[in-house]
Amino acid sequence: MQFFTRHNLKYFDKMRCLRKRSAVSFLGILVVCLLFMNLYIEDGYVLEGDKELIRETATHQLNPERYVHSFKDLSNFSGSINISYRYLAGTPLPRKRYLTIGLSSVKRKKGNYLLETIKSIFEQSSYEELKEIAVVVQLADFDSAWCEGMVQDISQKFAHHIIAGRLIVIHVPEDYYPVLDGLKRNYNDPEDRVKFRSKQNVDYAFLLNFCANLSDYYVMLEDDVRCSKNFLTAVKKVITSREGSYWVTLEFSKLGYIGKLYHSHDLPRLAHFLLMFYQEMPCDWLLIHFRGLLAQKEVIRFKPSLFQHMGYYSSYKGAENKLKDDDFEEESFDIPDNPPANLHTNMNVFENYEASKAYSSIDEYFWGKAPSTGDFYGIVFEKPIKISKIKVVTGTEDRQNDILHHGALEVGEKIVGSKKGRQCTTYLRLGEFKNGNFEITDVEHKVLFDINCMRILVTKSQKEWLIIRSISVWTSQTPNQ
């Protein structure tokens, strides 16, 4: 851990002065870049005149990819920020973990949910899962008496987790913070609101910086959250299903800065980014910009949500905050494995609703024009697998007739062909679709061979288009090679 000396405070003073001279132009380039990438946030707080000005400015800018490339290559963004952290409870981790869970908490005027949040993290995790996580709580309030009281409460209630090296409580003294008074009042926010959200950005930046080397992955929670049962196992399955694909942020809640997952190697850049624009906008908006600048255009969010907001009073002035994630499921849910596979179809695909969008936990789907008898949607697994359960859902709530009216599901073996054109020579039919859906369990007892392929076969032409909303595959043990 590198330590912060007093003269390093010039970093923030210099950052503050440079912002006065160049933040407007640089931020303008940033926003224009995001506009071209369709990532700029349209929000009710942004005045129509400001939106029009941004549109006019956009017509006079150069290729935004140039600025994305420049941001990626900034060497100063790849290293940690020199901060001296106070350990209030716990010690440095003896070994690297799979997942770090970060929480930043301040004193609230009404209510306090931090202890319940920590309790939920540990209670909803199995003994095996606890071995793979580290929880870092940052007490970010400048009231030392409050911090001391919270440390006592945490140490009393979670002593065994602290001793086991699963829980660390840290604090960054006020001296290391940049100027928080007299900041720009973007979006016409009141001065105290600007100060609150700007400090919150710095709080998160310091927390991210601390957690950068603790684990392979990092997930941010707020301090008033309830967790789903065995959330780590669900997260690991999702990460495995995304192997080979590029992502910056995976989202396991649709609310605020809850359940946002990152590669730990991206945390230093994210910490620097939050510091650079700490006074510009709320952290959840900045996170959208960060994701876009690193070339992830679309939100990758998984359902059901793994984390739920439970606080009734906000940390800002104790205002009421009744936001709930209606996609949250607290009890353990059976998330599919969906092992790595190549997907293909001979159906006429509509626009960009390609085959890959049906074979994931993301809220997307495959959409093909009216299929004919013999058309298929094929899945070729990268390795032979044993399957325990299969579930396929077609159609959506607003297009309930775009289902597979007549179809069957088959599994195959004996692959032939090149890597790109592989297919199975032998198929076994497992059943027919009913009302557009298909589900079967105990597949490993009904299929005696290791499965290389799976396909959805159209058995009768239909005039309606076909939406395959989701394809879910659960595996049993890995077959012996």
Rounded Cα distance, 40 and 304, in Å: 26
Q: pLDDT-derived band of residue 102, with 50, 70 and 90 as boundaries?
A: very high
pTM of this structure? 0.66
Distance of CA 390 to the CA centre of its chain: 26
Instruction: Give the separation between CA 75 and CA 162, rounded to whole angstroms.
Output: 35
Reported confidence tier of residue 64, pLDDT bands at 50, 70, 90 = very low
**What pLDDT score was predicted for residue 8?**
46
Mean pLDDT of the region 405-409 = 97
What is the average per-residue pLDDT within 83-102?
93
pLDDT over threshold 90, residue 457 = yes
Of the pLDDT bands very low, low, confident and very high (cuts 50, 70, 90), residue 21 is very low
**For helices 267-276 and 283-293, what crossing angle results, to 10°?**
120
Which tens digits make up the pLDDT trace of 201-252? 899 999 999 999 999 999 999 888 888 889 999 899 888 878 878 999 999 8
The reported pLDDT for the residue numbered 20 is: 39
What does the angle CA 200 – CA 96 – CA 340 come to, to the nearest 5 degrees? Answer: 95
- Residues pairing with 102 in the sheet: 136, 220
Contact assessment for residue 219 and residue 260, using Cβ atoms and an 8 Å cutoff: yes
